[in-house]
Chain A
Amino acid sequence: MQTHQAKRVEITIEAIMQSRLTEALLKAEVTGFTVLPVLGGSGRSGAWTRAGEIGRASGMVQVICIIRPEKLDKLLEAAFSVVERHIGVVAIVDCEVLRAERF
């Protein structure tokens, strides 16, 4: 089937920063994203898990954006402005998509 080049950007970020990130993405003209829950993890700031937690200080989400390659830079700048002072991981992968008109 006909596929089209795109980028898959996966931003793992603190849950409390999610709305700030998605607002920045929308301002950067990202047309869509998907948010995945995260159960736990580990990094320089130690290990954590959401089990039994009610507080919002710990816990992360993954925001996944599929975008046209030419929009990548704008997106990364927007994402970076939010994660800059915060913990979080941004990973970019080349991908192909169906229905390119959607992006």
Chain B
Amino acid sequence: MDALTQQLISPVVLCFLLGAVSRLIRSDLALPEAVYSGLSIYLLFAIGLKGGVALSQTSFTEFYRPALGTILIGVVTPFIAFYAVRYAGKLSKEDSAAVAAHYGSVSVVTFLASVEAAKRLGLESESYLSALVALLEIPGIVIALLFARSSNKNSWSKALHEVVTGKSIVLLAGGMLIGALCGKQKVSELDPLFVGCFKGALCLFMIELGIVASKRLRDAARAGFRLITLGFLLPPILGAFGVAVGLFCGLSVGGAMVLGSMSASASYIAAPAAVRIALPEANPAYYLTLALGITFPFNIALGIPLYAKISHYLAIWL
């Protein structure tokens, strides 16, 4: 399975592994909080910029169908996740809603890894896809929170505020606007930092994610066998759904593979903060372990090449 080894032997994945292993051997390696947070600002803004420039070169007719498809994913996937976790996983309403909010949203790093993988496999993916990341960040979280609509309206509106004004949305959307307004030429002055250094910065970020995911994985036992199984089953289901939607909306094979990865991924930047506010009763041990400890590494290592295969076969079939 060439796609798989191609995927596994890449700097981004190996850096994730390095972080995970360094945690296992109890190394003191860790990015300082400030650097980690600075890197995440950089990555999000760079993605936004790139998406904005791409949008400024994309016609509306080309863009509106994938955009609608993305919103569809944002609406459907939290339903799938909620009912899977509630009935197959036997979690409480609050915990299920919390998990659904994470799967309804998108992991930016999984998106990036998927774009990388597509390129390595020789598949082109539409460059306006990063604009869809911002689009997919919000509806999933909102819908999921509706499942556990607490009587406490105040905390609910605060959670919404938290998502919409959270730094991930502000940077993605802000970067997109700046990219679209300035256009390719003006933005190209920023390329050495935001394009040239991007992959290297992603590698450093991955080391830290590996460390954090490895911490989470240790907690997996507490989450229970049913839940761990779900952490492995949900991504392929949501991913296949995303790929199908993508192909249906006219995306290329590579683009559908990336959209599938987005759909299959679970947010761990915007969602946790919003969930913590709106659903303080929900147990972080469930949603963080699933999103960060299981689904994220699964997607990075196995999921992405799988969605590539699915996209490949579905594209022939459709």
Same assembly: no
